[in-house]
Amino acid sequence: MPQEFPADQPQQDDSSTTHPSHQPIISNAFPRYGNGEQHPFQGGRPPIDDSGGRTPNHRPSMFIRVLFGAVSFVLLIGVLFVGAKSWSRMTTPISLEEKQQIAADNLQKMQNRDTEREVDLRSLSAQLEYFYDNHKYYPSLEQINDNDFRKKEFDNLDHGGPEPFRDPLGKTSKMKDSLGRAQYMYRTEPGSCDNTGTKCAHYVLGAFYEENPSNSNYFRLGSVN
């Protein structure tokens, strides 16, 4: 009996079958919406609205841009105006009348500070005499420069604060035993008194006048006793 061979099977076309490694990769980075639409930014481009323009949130509105431009313009005009005014002041020479007015103002300020020096020293002198009436001696230079002593014995003068002891232009409220610029003088007699062994029997207060200061142009007050 002749051997039968199976009929030839039709050969499968490889072109209709895609190898698993060749299947298209569907990315989950841009999931589809429920209605099958893709993520609006898939492809790296912003969405397009029905009118063909970009979405309203992509760029500022025309009103915002106009407002920003107007504010910037006003600020620029203001800066230019202030700069021009300052430049005009720097380049415009000062008139003689203005120089005289400045000199008069400065002189008035110096005279006011000189008056303040007199008021300070008179107030100190009155307080020193009150101290003498209670203790029968005057404070030493060391005592009058001590903050705790001032708060206790000179409470009536700015509650013992530093201002009555400070020259109007001074940086310190410490007094010294000789005349100096912008610093009040408090000199005791005898000079070596410390109220421990030797009592301070006299004092001299002094301050240079700011207007024409010299060794002969200063304010001076001495002890009553």
Same domain for 75 and 173, yes or no, is no
* Prediction pTM value: 0.57
Asked if 83 and 164 sit in the same domain, the reply is no
pLDDT tens, residue order, the chain (225 aa): 455 545 555 555 554 454 555 555 544 544 554 555 555 555 555 555 555 555 555 566 887 888 888 888 888 888 887 876 776 666 667 788 888 889 899 999 999 999 999 999 999 999 999 999 999 999 999 999 999 999 999 888 876 577 889 999 999 999 999 998 899 999 999 988 999 989 999 999 999 998 776 767 899 999 998
Same-domain status, 209 and 125:
yes
Is residue 29 one of the residues assigned to a domain?
no
Do 175 and 216 have their domain in common? yes
Residue 27 lies in a domain: no
Tell whether 157 and 197 lie within a shared domain.
yes
> Residue 161: which domain range?
116-222
**135 and 199 housed in the same domain:** yes
Closest CA to 140 of 167, 175, 170: 175
Same domain for 136 and 214, yes or no, is yes
Does 72 share its domain with 130? Answer: no
Query: Do 128 and 185 have their domain in common?
Result: yes
| Structural domain total, the chain | 2
Q: How distant is the alpha carbon of residue 155 from its chain centre?
A: 34
User: What single-letter DSSP state applies at residue 8?
Assistant: P
Q: Is residue 52 part of a domain?
A: no
Q: Does residue 198 contact residue 221 with C-beta atoms inside 8 Å?
A: no
- pLDDT computed for residue 4 by the predictor: 52
| Domain presence at residue 66 | yes
Calculate the alpha carbon distances from 170 to 147, 158, 165, 208 in Å. Answer: 17, 17, 10, 12
In a domain, 30, yes or no: no
Which pLDDT does position 5 carry in this prediction?
47
pLDDT tens digit sequence for 28-57? 544 554 555 555 555 555 555 555 555 555
